Structure 1
Amino acid sequence: MLQICLSSCGDDDLKKAAKLSEKVALNRDRTTGVDIIYSDSAKVKAQGFAPILDKVTPANGAIYQEMPKGVKINFIDEITTKIKGSITSDYAIMKDTEKLTIFRRNVVVVNENMTFNTEELVWDQNKKLFLSPKGVVTKPDGTVLNAVDFTATEDFNFINWKNGSGETYVPDNFGE
């Protein structure tokens, strides 16, 4: 037994498809080997490196910049101009209109006080805060904390989290 199924598109279906494709059209400008400087009040605060930076202009909606191959950002000490910390991730997106940068996949923040590992970290330029739903904080003394609702100031000098749990290092002479 042989069964044949035939289908056709009428003019109305083609018009609908054309309208749909117009709505999702976008323009993408790609730059490779990107070196980004972030400054505030003429002082360099950070320097970022991305192998690929795509500037995406959707037909409808706000322009954004995407780093599909990841990014590394070094935080610069204003006085010594030395690197005082860094953020790396496998993917990042900058939403200029909302003033948000979202780091995703294998996000690692390092400074002299801690290392923070997470799968998502958001930098809110308006609030001047970094935010993450959860992650792991490791301190130089060996303390390891699971942090929920993590927040940090832009310089990571003040960090806060809720519902944390973990292991801490207590020296042998504690309480003496």
Structure 2
Amino acid sequence: MNARLERNGEYWRAVWHGPDGRKHTAGLGKCSKRQAQKKLAELDTSATAARMLLDEWTVLYVSQRAQMLDESTLSQHATYLRRFAQYCGPMSVRDVTPMLVANWLGTLDVADSTRRKIVRYMRTIWKWAINQNVANANPWSTQPARHPRVDREVAYVSVETVYHLS
């Protein structure tokens, strides 16, 4: 988006022309020129982030997190993110829904513990996307990431019962 600032008294607005050639505006409110420039920059980055595809996000995520994560962890994050991107096709990161996530998880032929590990990894990736302003919400938060707790009952038996069982 190639926007410019326009002033109307104490109020500022962003003005740009869309791909269709039409003029668009967004009010930035009553603020100083410096504050208006900052709001314009935020508006521009959020518009760019809204169009970011999963494939692009995969490359960006791996490059940003390379220095922060262990090599094996980063490799697994990248693997599962690529597999998910291949399943979804050319889709924006912001368009990923919990239903799409559940459908993809249903197609995986892996053990339940592996499925939960994938959910934990993908939750971490989407939290990073939210912090980077690429995603608005975490569609992975509705999926279980740990094994359900099972209450175990201990049966107390007498020595005589054990003797009779053998």
When normalised by structure 2's length, the TM-score is 0.26
| Greater helix proportion | 2
> Could you say which structure has the larger radius of gyration?
2
More strand by share: 1
What TM-score, normalized to structure 1? 0.25
